[in-house]
Structure 1
Amino acid sequence: MKKLFNAAFIYMVLGVASGLFYREFTKANAFPEGEYTQLAVVHTHLLTLGFIVLLVLLALEKLFRISRSAKLFGWFFWLYNAGLVLTAAMMVWHGSLTVLGEQSNAMIAGIAGLGHILLTAAMIILFIALGRAVNATAPSAASGTPSAVTA
């Protein structure tokens, strides 16, 4: 649980810092207000996918002990973080190029796509681990008491 809490806190700080970077970087480079750059949504991605999702997951961990399936949960945690960091980094890179008037390239899009693939794989693993945890704590139909069956 401590890993989830610490990661959520780090993403909250990064999300707020990326919003500040967006505002100051675009002002410093006289980027036209209202023109689109991916820098505008990096903070939203970090705050939502990093901070909020991990806080929700922290509550689910407290309720269902998802990490009981430690191997699955570990895979989820590291794949998710790698995917989110990779995706956000590519958004910052692409957005910065836009502000500087430079062209992006297929490599940036490909690496961002890899970040999204990692996020997707992590979410699938999370749902498998969550399903096992929910089923392990589900009441048995006959007795109405929690089942002792583990995944």
Structure 2
Amino acid sequence: MKKLYYSAVVYTVLGLLAGLFYRELTKAQDFTAGTQLSVVHTHLLTLGTLFFLIVLALEKVLHLSSGRFFNAFFWTYHAGLVLTAGIMTVHGTMTVLGKTVGPAISGPAGLGHILLTLALVFFFLCLHNRVRPDFARPDDAERRLS
């Protein structure tokens, strides 16, 4: 449970820093057009902070971490979110600075999204195995009643 809590905290800090970076960079460059940099903070706060707070609540009730797919979900999700947010930051910064964005940005961005998708598959497998009654172990019945 601690690693879920710390994940939410880290993504909160990263999301707030991303918002500050966007505001200061665009102000310093007198940039008013649209850029991916403007949504990095919302991605980190939503996909990082809020998602891990929800997973933390589900962990408390369903003990998701006891499932065999939990570690695969946890680390794949982090890798996908960090890669996605990192590439969005690079792409947005290059846009603000007036640099050309090439295809080298598209590949890692796609990989980040693929990792997030795979992590969500692991998450739903983990969730599925904890909510289906026929997969529940006898000691789980006591936990659910208390």
TM-score when normalising by structure 2: 0.90
Match of residue 48 from structure 1: 46
Match of residue 72 from structure 1: 69
Compute the displacement of 1:146 (Å). 3.2
Greater Cα offset, 38-47 or 130-139: 130-139
Compute the displacement of 1:136 (Å). 5.0
Q: Which structure 2 residue ranges, 5 or more long, are not aligned?
A: none
Match of residue 37 from structure 1: 35
Match of residue 28 from structure 1: 28
The percentage of aligned residue pairs carrying the same residue is 53
TM-score when normalising by structure 1: 0.88
The Cα offsets for residues 24-75 of structure 1, whole Å up to 9 and x where unpaired, read as 011111112xx10001000000000000000001000001001111x41000
- Check 1:137–1:48 CA distance in 2 against 1; reply closer, same or farther (3 A cut): farther
Q: Is contact 2:129-2:135 (8 Å) kept?
A: no
CA–CA distance in 2 between the matches of 1:16 and 1:138? 40
Match of residue 142 from structure 1: none
- Could you tell me which amino acid in structure 2 is paired with residue 109 of structure 1? S
Give the secondary-structure state (helix, strand or coil) at the position aligned to 1:103: coil
Match of residue 16 from structure 2: 16
Match of residue 131 from structure 2: 134
Name the count of aligned residue pairs. Answer: 140
CA–CA distance in 2 between the matches of 1:137 and 1:68? 16
Q: Which structure 1 residue ranges, 5 or more long, are not aligned?
A: 140-144
Please state which structure has a larger fraction of its residues in helix: 2
Match of residue 3 from structure 1: 3
CA–CA distance in 2 between the matches of 1:56 and 1:125? 16
